[in-house]
Amino acid sequence: MRVMNLLAASVLAVVAFAPQAALARGDKPTVAVTEFDNQSGAGWWRGGVGWELAGMLSNELSATGAFKVLEREQIRAVLDEQNLAASGRVAAGTGAKIGQLTGAQFLVTGTVTAYEEETASTGGGISFGGVSLGGSSEKAYLAVDLRVINATTGEVDFSRTIEGTSKGGGMSVGLYRGGFGGTLESQNKTPAGKAIRAALVEITDYLECVMVKQTDRCMREYEAKEDARRERTRGALDLE
């Protein structure tokens, strides 16, 4: 019996560390992007936007060629089954486990925690909650709390606050390869839309760094960005 217990424990350990072993071998990580949450009060956030952002990030990750990305509808179906299990309408212990049913090694979750828009007004324009009135919006800022959860162990393997900014009609970083549709289509050329694109590019680059490339150079780059972000946050706090 003791031998069997030790064998079972060894098997569980292998399963739990399978995602990390895959990364070490250089295999493409298999990821599932779940619905984004919103805690920012942004005026452009309406029903369905959370899944739209998840789909846009999935497209961006897939376009890099560095990840295996699961389809949004597949993830939604599993989450719906999990909600059914949580309701008590199925037998205890038989609910869907997303890592088992989809083959996902990692779940990528995002929460929009801050959105700010600055209006350069020529006639008394103001901006409130991401909606501009009587002015010309020039700058926008978006912050996303990102987590990468090990689908087997449930532990958070990677986490970072990612920022996206737009100003002067442009983006702060790289090239966005996707497109806007659905509810967000109206934001395609707005400061909000440009800040969203910038954040998605930065999220993609960060995940490729820590999950695929894992080079000292890119790791140092993101550590420096995180230090700078934390320093700006400290400077903005009123500690009196």
pLDDT in the model for residue 5: 47
Q: Tell me the mean pLDDT in the region 120-148.
A: 66
Determine the structural domain holding residue 207 and report its residue range.
Answer: 2-236
pLDDT (average), residues 38-54:
92
Do 233 and 178 form a contact (C-beta atoms < 8 A)?
Answer: no
Q: What is the rounded CA–CA span in Å between residue 35 and residue 31?
A: 13
Give the C-alpha separation, 30 to 49, whole Å: 24
Which SS3 state, helix, strand or coil, does residue 176 take? coil
pLDDT at res. 29: 95
Res 9: pLDDT: 41
Name residue 129's amino acid. Answer: G
> What does the pLDDT look like over 1-30, one tens digit per residue?
444 344 334 333 333 445 655 565 568 999
Listed in sequence order, the DSSP H helices in the chain are 2-16, 18-25, 49-64, 72-86, 98-102, 191-208, 216-236
pLDDT in tens, 148-180: 999 888 899 999 999 999 875 444 444 455 667
pLDDT at 40 over 90: yes
Number of domains in the chain: 1
Number of other residues whose CB lies within 10 A of the CB of residue 68: 15
- With tokens 């079972």, the residue in question is 8
CATH of the domain at 78: 3.40.50.10610
Which ranges of 30-173 does DSSP label H, i.e. alpha helix? 49-64, 72-86, 98-102
Coil, helix or strand at residue 168: coil
C-alpha–C-alpha distance, residues 132 and 129, integer Å? 8
For residue 61, give the 3-state DSSP assignment. helix
> Cα dist. 109→29, 103, 232 in Å?
15, 17, 24
Residue matched to tokens 């979750």 = 109
Per-chain mean pLDDT for the chain: 76
Do 38 and 50 touch, CB atoms closer than 8 A? yes
